[in-house]
Amino acid sequence: MATLELKGLAKSFGAQTVLAGIDLAVGDGEMVVIVGASGCGKSTLLRLVAGLEQPSRGAVVLDGHDITGRDPAERDIAMVFQNYALYPHMSVFENMAYGLKIRRLPRAEIRRRVDEAAAMLGLEGLLARKPRALSGGQRQRVAMGRAIVREPKLFLFDEPLSNLDAKLRVQMRAEIRRLQRRLGITSLYVTHDQVEAMTLGDRLVVMREGRAAQVASPMEVFARPADTYVAGFIGAPAMNFLPARLAAGGRGAALAAGPAILFADGPRPGPEGRGLTIGVRPEHVLLAREGMEFAVDLVEPLGSETLLHGRLADGTGLVVKVAGAAPAGETLHVALPPGELHVFDAGSGSRLEPESLVAEPLVGLATTG
């Protein structure tokens, strides 16, 4: 059990800045998932915590002790790698026990720890096998077992499921989450997969170009993204973005596609005409008898739901998720529910929060649909 603090952690390779200064506090037993696109710095961050790289500045504090300058072996951290990193000439038992033998633990203690971890992971009947005789999921369990037997203060996961097929990934991420909760070990988990991030993390760190774009619970990131980058990254399909202008004293917006909309949660700051980006998730767009014209150019049936891809009258692309089969017709009408809209500044992309709640209707500004 331990806490982890990252204080202004930064890393540069020559003139290239990979991490621009990360501050993060991870609570005892918490699982924090670091998510972002390739090249955002998430794996570098994990390597700095593990001691595989040294930061250009900043500190790593584990359980109140500054471990920034310590060697990886002295950090009491266990890491699960993307490629499993198993010794091919060793059995499952030997792979799991190797780190304990290096630490010169008694044989009886090694046997106890390996047997307990094998029982947790369903590996009891596989301890004599070599890695080549295991499936991908079994190899990943062995890699996790090797980390578990060390009884570390901190788990680090570096995209551990990326080499597995889709079905096995779903199974393994559920197992990882159950196991982490059962053991209560503080954990950092790196992934580029937003579904993994949403389902595994107590909190998310959404990375962008070496910075933390947002740190919050998965549902807060989904419901209140800090900017258009986070809004577009979290959620599948991605959020729709529509250009607009601030109107009527900040209490509504005029869309470039034509209609005006009211903000259900209150006015936004700024002069009339301020450039906005209105975000709405595909599942929240409504099909209506009247409203904005939506020309459908691609239909993706997914069984219980269907994705409609098309464009509004001004050429803005739009994706709509509907339950069941696609409605007939190449031209439909859509409406945007005011309570499901996200408002961002067009220039910076930052979320614009309401100044205050507005209860009374706004005269002279009609809603869509």
Whether the predicted pLDDT of 364 surpasses 70: no
CA distance 338 to 365: 13
Summarize pLDDT for 296-326 with one digit per residue, the tens: 999 999 989 999 999 999 999 999 999 988 8
Supply the pLDDT for residue 201.
93
HEC letters along 226-280: CEHHHHHHCCCCCCEEEEEEEEHHHCEEEECCCCEEECCCCCCCCCCCCEEEEEE
Residue 141 · residue 124 · CB < 8 Å: no
Supply the pLDDT for residue 182.
87
Q: Is 343 exposed, middle or buried (0-12, 13-18, 19+ CB in 10 A)?
A: buried
- Work out the mean pLDDT of the chain and round it to a whole number: 90
Strands (E), 15-81: 16-26, 31-35, 57-62, 65-66, 77-80
Supply the pLDDT for residue 105.
93
Report DSSP state, residue 350: B
Whether the predicted pLDDT of 1 surpasses 90: no
Whether the predicted pLDDT of 251 surpasses 70: yes
Question: For the chain, which domains are there?
Answer: 4-226 (3.40.50.300), 237-345 (2.40.50.140)
The stretch 106-123 carries a mean pLDDT of 93
Supply the pLDDT for residue 120.
87
Q: Give the other-Cβ count within 10 Å of 106's Cβ.
A: 9
Q: Which of 123-127, 274-278, 361-365 has the lowest mean pLDDT?
A: 361-365
Supply the pLDDT for residue 81.
84
Helices (H), the chain: 42-50, 92-102, 107-121, 136-148, 166-183, 194-200, 218-223, 228-233
Supply the pLDDT for residue 226.
96
Q: Which two tokens stand for residue 74?
A: 């002295």
Distances (CA, A) of 123 to 111, 118, 126, 141, 304: 14, 5, 5, 8, 36
Whether the predicted pLDDT of 241 surpasses 90: yes
Strand partners, 11: 19
CA distance 331 to 320: 13
Rg of the chain on CA atoms, in Å: 25
Supply the pLDDT for residue 161.
86
Summarize pLDDT for 158-198 with one digit per residue, the tens: 988 888 888 888 888 888 888 888 889 999 999 988 889 99
* Percentage of the chain exceeding pLDDT 70: 96
* Percentage of the chain exceeding pLDDT 90: 71
* 83 pLDDT tier (thresholds 50, 70, 90): confident
The stretch 18-35 carries a mean pLDDT of 95
Supply the pLDDT for residue 217.
96
